[in-house]
Amino acid sequence: MYKPEKRFMRLAIDEAKKGNKSGKYPIGAVIVKDGKVVASSFNGLPGDIDPTVHAEILAIRKAAVKLKTRYLDDCILYTTNEPCAMCAGAAVWANMRGIVFGASVKDLEKFWKMRRDEKTSKRNFVFVHAKKIISGVKPKMFLVENFMREECLELFDLYEAGLRR
């Protein structure tokens, strides 16, 4: 059983805060291998026309470049939000060892439902649990859910506060 480390999730939270300062959704991701950070990123949305620039995807891309391989064996993805279907799928295709996330898909769904407005009502949302994406993967990936959830939920408030400015 993998024991997640708070220091890595704190780095993901710091990435999310960096993104929030530049007007991005405050989601952060860190990729760890052998107890060392390989790559990190914050979300590229909104504002980027590439819909795949999620924090997790950007961190996976950076890790692949740094490690010079598309196979991120023994790497662990830490992310402040439960990865979407695309991001969890990317972790699978990269052969990652596991995923650790903070706030859940349910938390994110609740947040967006509370703030439905003209912009968000036109968006498509896919609320699929990462567990569903990684089930059946061989070799088996581990999933640590709701790790440091409360700290990660505070990022939603940070985003909301930025909208009110």
Annotate 92-103 with b (16+ C-beta within 10 A) or e (fewer): bebbbbbbbbbb
Count of other CB atoms within 10 angstroms of residue 8: 22
Annotate 50-59 with b (16+ C-beta within 10 A) or e (fewer): eeebbbbbbb
Sign of torsion, CA 62 143 82 101? negative
CA dihedral of 25, 91, 15, 5, whole degrees rounded to 10: 130
Bridge partners (DSSP) of residue 30 are: 40, 78
User: Active-site residue among 56, 82, 145, 150?
Assistant: 56
**56 noted as active-site residue:** yes
Closest among 34, 76, 41 to 56, alpha carbons compared? 41
* Catalytic positions, written as ranges: 56
